[in-house]
Amino acid sequence: AIPAYQHLGLDAIVNGAATAEWTGMSTDLAIGGKLAFVGSPTPVAGESPVNGAVEGMYHADAGSIAVRSMDIRLPHSTLQGKGSLGVSPIDRASKMDLDFESSDLSEFDAVLRSLNLTQGKRVGAAALPVSLKGQAKFHGQLNSSWLTPRVEGHLTANNIGIEIPSSTTDPNSPL
């Protein structure tokens, strides 16, 4: 992996069976399986343990992964989903049903830093336009490609701060 993506702040040991089917043409290739995630027995400082499972099948002819089920759990967050995840070419659309719940968005700080999320001098989770002190739940869909991500749905939250930028807002100030 590219060095920036080698340490995402998520600690998991991945295990599971995979299958591959191919009849001779590159478009006939199908690779899939069920992968289980378990936090390592020795926690890594600064990383959140990940538990759960993902089951899916990549179909080369469709350029997408048919995700049968996804259930990912962190200490303060869960992500569940199913649908089609477009991967090839990179602008292939996805259609994933998603359910996300969290009481601590800072669990994703290292991931957001790796993705170079910035707002002024703020980076990672601090650059998000929200400050979560309570609980947030999201139910919706990812209906776009990786290049132009668009997530639509319904968000309910309590004890949350939302930043609405104005022309006088200092992007370097904490939320």
Phi-psi region of 133 (alpha: psi -120 to 50; beta: other; left: phi over 0): alpha
pLDDT digits (tens, 9 = 90+) for 71-82: 999 999 999 999
Residue 2 has pLDDT above 80, yes or no: no
Per-residue confidence (pLDDT) for residue 148, from 0 to 100: 86
Does residue 124 or residue 137 have the better pLDDT? 137
Residue 95 has pLDDT above 80, yes or no: yes
Per-residue confidence (pLDDT) for residue 51, from 0 to 100: 97
Does residue 148 or residue 171 have the better pLDDT? 148
In whole angstroms, what is the distance from residue 93 CA to residue 48 CA? 30
pLDDT digits (tens, 9 = 90+) for 10-64: 899 999 999 999 988 888 899 999 999 999 999 888 888 999 999 999 999 999 9
Per-residue confidence (pLDDT) for residue 77, from 0 to 100: 95
CB 34 within 8 A of CB 16: yes
